[in-house]
Each structure stands twice: as structure tokens, then as C-alpha cells.
Structure 1
Amino acid sequence: MRYEIRVDGLMSEELTTAFPELDSFVVPHQTVLYGQVDDEAHLYDLLIRFQSLGLHIAEFRRLPE
């Protein structure tokens, strides 16, 4: 499964390294991370990492295969 996660604000390079399995790019006022999520456990791990870093997820969606 591929997912796209939009985070409010611009994430520093240091913050994006907390998600080595995801690629990222910046759009106005948001950082977009995207990539393969292996299973439900991986999905929950990502959510925990976003929360522990104090990042606000604006949108989280599954991409078409």
C-alpha cells in the first residue's frame, strides 16, 4: 500500500530523516511525505512517530495502486 501524508508546516531535513522509508517534497505551507507502508503495524508506527515529534497531520490518504 502506498500512502501520502501531508503535514502542516515545513519539516526540517532533520525531521524528515525520522521517516527514512518515505520520500518528501514541500508545497506551500505543507510538507508531503509519501511511500510504501507494508502493513497495519507499520502504519501505526508512522502515526506514533508523527505524534511523538509533535507534527500535525493535515491529510493522510492511501494512494491508488
Structure 2
Amino acid sequence: MRYEFRITGLVSEPLSHAFPELDTAPVYRQTLFFGTVTDEAHLYGLLSRFRDLGLRVEEMRRLPD
């Protein structure tokens, strides 16, 4: 499954390295993280990592395969 996460603000490059399994792209006032999520546990782990690092997920969506 592929997912996209829209994060509030621009995430620094060092902070984005906390998500090596995801690609990133800056957009207007947000940072997109996107990539393959292997299962539900991985998804919840990513969400926890975003939260623990103080990043606010504005939107999350599953991308077409």
C-alpha cells in the first residue's frame, strides 16, 4: 500500500531522515511524505513517529497502487 502524509510546515532535511522509508517533497506551507507502508503496524508506527517528533499530520491518504 502506498500512502501520502501532508505535514504542516516545511520539515528540515535532518528531521526528514527520521523517515528513511518515505520520500519527501516540499509544497506550499507543507511537506509531503509518501511511500510504501507495509502493513497496519507500520502505518501506526509512522503516525507515532510524526507525533513524537512534534510534526502535525494535516492529511493522510492511501494512494492508488
- Give the TM interval when normalised to the shorter protein: over 0.9
Query: For 2:51 and 2:33, how far apart are their aligned partners in 1?
Result: 15
CA shift, 1:26, in A, is 0.3
TM-score if structure 2 supplies the norm length?
0.98
Structure 2 counterpart of 1:57, one-letter code: V
How many pairs are equivalent?
Answer: 65
Alignment TM-score, normalising by the size of structure 1: 0.98
Q: Which amino acid is the alignment partner of residue 11 of structure 1?
A: V
- The unaligned stretches of length 5 or more in structure 2 are none
> Match of 2:14?
14
| Structure 1: unaligned runs, 5 residues or longer | none
Task: Give the 3-state SS of the residue equivalent to 1:55 in structure 2.
Answer: coil
Map 1:1-65 → 2, pairs under 5 A: 1-65=1-65
Large movers: runs of 4+ above 3 Å: none
1:28 Cα shift? 0.7
CA deviations over 1:6-44 (Å, ceiling 9, x no partner)? 000000001100000000000010000000000001001
